[in-house]
Structure 1
Amino acid sequence: MRELILLRHAHAEAAGPGMDDGQRPLSATGLAEARAAGAWLQAQGLLPDRVLCSPALRARQTLAALGALGQADVREEASIYGASPGTLIALADTHADATRLLLVGHNPGLEQLAALLHSGQSGDYRGMPPAGVAVLVFPKDAAIEPGVARLSQFWWP
């Protein structure tokens, strides 16, 4: 079995006048949420082999607040920011050698991806709260495609 873990960044501060969206930091609430997500991942034994993180400050801060991720290969991936489910599927497919892949990114792409991989339909799902975690399990040799995954766990702070 292979696992794809989707982690939406935690709560961020609102953008100030002239602030670039990619530079919004986590709020105090968001920092606590990210730490809680890290504690949950560790308690479940869900340490990834590889982590792909959006370059947005709030995503990088969420990742940093998770705490120790074991021996994970951590990479910043520009294509996650604003990505569609199709872009995220293509990205995950290029990392098929990872047994457990963690994507740290944004809505609506992550929640649509979770729905698409699990049910085969992306629809207008609004079920991935800030710092929410979806764990999707795939048969070992299966391609990452709509409807092939099983949602094994879902958590939010």
Structure 2
Amino acid sequence: MITLIVVRHGDAEPQVEGKEDKDRKLVKKGIKQMRRVASFLDEMGYSVDRIISSPYLRTYQSAEVILDELFDSDNEKKVETFDDLTPDKDPSLFLEKVKDFADNSTILIVGHEPYLSNLVKAISGANVEIKKGGIAIVDYDLKEGKGVLKILLTQKILKLI
């Protein structure tokens, strides 16, 4: 069993003509949202083994904020980027890679909608929408190839915790 912590990136710059979507940066509100996610994970005692992000700037920055909040500066962990996590990809490509992850590990995945909700549905059958800065936690049985949605939180709820 592995734990997948699925996080949608925080608020980013608006889409503007002449700037590619993949180059949009996280804004201050988005940074705050990711700090809130990290605080929740820390309070709940999650120990993250790997951090994987889409290569888009706003998701990578979101993953870095969480990494910086969860670990001290001498930590060896780095954010890995997977092209399979871009918004237009099919989650089954990423799920093939998940089969190679270490059993009993906790993986933080930072990405986009509707990709992330499709990933959660492919794993657990749960029909969800992950809002910006939202988090879903899924226990995934590698042998069975399916999982169970354990937690789904929005920023509104994280603010109250």
RMSD: 2.1
Q: TM-score, normalised by structure 2?
A: 0.81
Confirm or deny: 8 A CA contact 2:12 2:25 kept in the other structure.
yes
Q: What are structure 2's unaligned runs of at least 5 residues?
A: 156-161
TM-score w.r.t. length of structure 1: 0.83
- Secondary structure class of the residue paired with 2:13: coil
For residues 5-154 of structure 1, what are the structure 2 equivalents within 5 Å? 5-66=5-66, 67-70=68-71, 72=77, 74-82=79-87, 83-97=89-103, 99-119=105-125, 125=127, 127-139=129-141, 141-143=142-144, 145=145, 148-154=146-152
Among all aligned residue pairs of Structure 1 and Structure 2, give the percentage whose two residues are the same amino acid. Answer: 25
Aligned partners of 2:58 and 2:103: how far apart in 1? 27
Structure 1's consecutive aligned runs of 4 or more residues displaced over 6 angstroms after TM superposition are none
- SS for the counterpart of 1:142 is coil
The letter for the 2-side match of 1:89 is L
State how far apart, in whole Å, the 2-side matches of 1:34 and 1:130 are. 10
What is the identity, as a one-letter code, of the residue corresponding to 2:85? I
- Return the alpha-carbon distance in structure 2 between the equivalents of residues 8 and 33 of structure 1: 10
Number of residue pairs matched?
Answer: 149
For the residue of structure 2 that corresponds to 1:94, the secondary structure is: coil
Deviation for aligned residue 1:33: 1.0
CA shift digits 1:78-121 (9 cap, x unpaired): 221122221221232232456111111111111111122112x7
Larger helix percent: 2
2:3 aligned residue = 3
